[in-house]
């Protein structure tokens, strides 16, 4: 009889429920842009190294590289909110270290939209014959 195939690694890594896309969406939802960074128009990437315990909680987060003005603290705060699923590792309580990049990009200012309508003077009889109306609308983004 053949034995079943074993996994490739002895220790199984934790994973975020829903994958990387779900983790990015979580970070984007919970991240707020610091006021001082908005005022000084600071953009950039904050890199955080974090430690996941055997229960899947982030117990420690350290800044690897940052941009300052409150963005570093905000990135660490959001990383500490993450929770992972940790598979059973043969009864061994293992801590894992991972790295994440959190981008801070200034929000775009809202665009003004001007819309107007132009009507062509057509007689009602002409409209009934052709089946078209004489109103056109245009939108211009500024």
pLDDT in tens, 41-100: 999 999 999 999 999 999 999 999 999 999 999 999 999 999 999 998 888 899 999 999
Structure tokens of 70? 């409150």
Residue 33 predicted with pLDDT over 90: yes
pLDDT in tens, 98-131: 999 999 999 888 776 666 566 655 555 554 555 5
Average pLDDT, the chain: 83
The CATH number for 19-104, chosen from 3.65.10.10, 3.40.50.300, 3.30.2420.10, 3.30.1300.10, is: 3.30.2420.10
Mean pLDDT across the stretch 26-31?
A: 96
Reference 14, options 91, 83, 92, 71; nearest CA is 83
Burial of 67-98, coded b for 16+ CB within 10 Å and e otherwise, reads bebbbbebbbebbeebebebeebeeeeeebeb
């Amino acid at each position: 009889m053949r034995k079943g195939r074993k996994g490739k690694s002895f220790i199984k890594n934790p994973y975020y429920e829903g994958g990387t896309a779900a983790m990015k969406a979580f970070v984007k939802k919970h991240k707020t842009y610091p006021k001082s960074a908005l005022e000084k128009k600071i953009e950039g990437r904050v890199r955080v190294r974090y430690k996941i315990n055997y229960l899947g909680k982030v117990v420690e987060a350290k800044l690897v590289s940052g941009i300052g003005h409150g963005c570093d603290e905000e990135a660490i705060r959001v990383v500490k909110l993450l929770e992972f699923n940790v598979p059973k590792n043969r009864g061994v309580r293992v801590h894992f270290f991972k790295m994440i990049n959190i981008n801070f990009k200034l929000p775009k200012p809202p665009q003004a939209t001007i819309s107007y309508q132009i009507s062509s003077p057509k007689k009602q009889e002409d409209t009934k014959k052709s089946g078209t109306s004489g109103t056109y609308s245009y939108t211009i983004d500024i």
